[in-house]
Structure formats: structure tokens, C-alpha cells
Amino acid sequence: MNETIIDAQGLDLTFQTNDGPVHALKDVSLTIGKGDFVSFIGPSGCGKTTFLRCIAGLETPTGGSLSVNGMTPDEARRKRAYGYVFQAAGLYPWRTIAKNVKLPLEIMGFSREEQERRADRVLELVDLKGFGAKYPWQLSGGMQQRASIARALAFDAGILLMDEPFGALDEIVRDHLNEQLLALWARTEKTIGFVTHSIPEAVYLSTRIVVMSPRPGRITDVIESPLPKERPLDIRDTPEFLDVAHRVREGLRAGHAYDG
Ligand SMILES: Nc1ncnc2c1ncn2[C@@H]1O[C@H](COP(=O)(O)OP(=O)(O)OP(=O)(O)O)[C@@H](O)[C@H]1O
């Protein structure tokens, strides 16, 4: 495998809540290499978001070890090792698209010229060239989500963490964004962690698919994709694709059957 970027070993996380402890992650071990596109799939509440948030240094595991770029997640967060894309685009309505994209750059103290240059570059990368002066409400849901990806790319972190970024979009738009995301990944060689509920989306995008079980969230299968890097949408009709989709479905089913 390529250089290790994310290394989780025996990760455990129990939330203490008013209703008692919630065991969200159990003995999660996974290594993600540079340039991997790893999807996390599993039933609602199985800890996909929690695992992504651990990588991002936004939750603290209660057991095990986790490193990101050879650092603790907290150090990696402070060094801005990753861009994070949420399910909702989360753009500020009073800022233009360009100003939304520049926000992290402003906070990080980039010069105005550099902010301008980077915003232009990432808006072009997500196919929003010429939309910088628009406000979020003037854009479709898919375009807003692309703008939020541009914002996550603006400071050029090597890691992109995406939590169901296209979950709220209709299927045609989602297909299109999946294609664009693959092209962007090929061009930028980012390491991507991607949470989804959709089997076809996971299979279409990923180099590896991590199947998780219901609570306490455990990894029940890690499927290496045999698909080539170059993936036109109609690859989804090929026997290879359907075979991987079948394996994911079986993995999800086996996880559900687990009651230990
Ligand atoms: N801050 C928190 N405090 C207490 N419990 C939490 C907290 N965050 C998450 N949980 C619980 O941990 C479990 C895992 O949640 P998580 O959001 O990671 O699941 P998920 O797989 O991403 O679900 P979904 O697919 O519905 O987004 C759930 O039972 C959730 O209620």
C-alpha cells in the first residue's frame, strides 16, 4: 500500500449520555493509504459519522490509537490536514459563493491575492467558474454542495472527509456529482474518506469499501475494488461492478445478523 495517511488500531468510543453509555465504536482497525478513496457504509447509527469525526479530531476515542499524517488527530486538525464536507452545504447565505470559499483562507490569514487565486482555482475544479459572485440561494442544491466541496479544497489539504455529501440530492444530480468527484480525485490525488448509505455510490467511487455493523459499530468487511480507476457511469452495469455491490450487500446483511 501507499504511504499510510490514517491509521486506526483497536479504536473504541463510548459516549456517556443521560440515558447511560452509548457504545458507538468497537475495536475499529483500519489503515488508509495516500490517494485511497475509502467509503464507509452501514446502517443508521452504526458510527460512520463518529469514526469520521474521530479522524477529524472532533471526537476523542475512549480506547485504541489513531494517527493522521503521523500525528494525533488533534494536531492534524490544527495543522489543517483535512477538508470536511457535511451533508448540508452549510454556506453562509449573506456571503457570495466566492466569499464562502474564501472564509477558511481569511481565517488562516492568506493574503487577498492568494485568497482570490485559490478561490478561482477550486471553483473551476468543481465546475463553478463564473458563479463566484452569486449568493447560495441563487444556486441549485447540487451546485451548493459543489461550492461546499470547493471550500473544503481551498486550503489544499491532502485529506478530504465527506459525510454523506450527496445524500439529500436527487439521483441524476448525484450521479453527475459522483462522476465529477471521481475526476477531481484523479486530478488532485487526495485521500478521501466518504460516508454513504448508498451501495451503488460506494461501489462506483471507492478503491475500498468499509462495511460497518449496527451498534456497537464494528468493521465487518473491507472490500478492495477490482474496478479500474477510470470509471464511466455505465460501469455500473458490468458484472464486476454488480459483483462488488453484491458483496457489500452480503456484508451489510451479515452485520445485521450479528447480535453479540
Ligand atoms: N455526541 C454524542 N453523544 C451521544 N451519543 C452520540 C453522539 N454522537 C453520536 N452518538 C450516538 O452514536 C451512535 C453512532 O452515531 P453516528 O452518527 O456516528 O452514526 P452513523 O452511522 O453516522 O448514522 P447515520 O447513518 O444515521 O448518519 C448513534 O447511536 C448516535 O446516537
Tell how far the Cα of 166 is from the centroid of ligand 1, in angstroms: 19
State whether the beta carbon of 215 lies less than 6 angstroms from ligand 1: yes
| Mean of the per-residue pLDDT values of the chain | 92
> Which one of 22, 161, 163, 215 would you pick to mutate in the ligand 1 pocket, going by the greatest count of ligand atoms within 8 A of its CB?
22
State whether the beta carbon of 49 lies less than 6 angstroms from ligand 1: yes
Asked if the model's pLDDT at residue 251 lies above 70, the reply is yes
pLDDT value for 260: 43
Asked if the model's pLDDT at residue 38 lies above 60, the reply is yes
The 10s digit of each residue's pLDDT in 104-149 is 999 889 999 999 999 999 999 888 999 999 999 999 988 999 999 9
Indicate if ipTM > 0.85: yes
State whether the beta carbon of 18 lies less than 6 angstroms from ligand 1: no
What is the full DSSP assignment across 207-220?
SEEEEEPSSSB-EE
Domains of the chain: 1-80+187-260 (3.40.50.300), 82-156 (no CATH)
52-66, 143-157, 172-186, range with greatest mean pLDDT: 52-66
Return the residue whose CA atom lies nearest to atom 9 of ligand 1: 50
pLDDT value for 47: 93
Tell how far the Cα of 96 is from the centroid of ligand 1, in angstroms: 32
What is the full DSSP assignment across 138-169?
GS-HHHHHHHHHHHHHTT--SEEEEESTTTTS
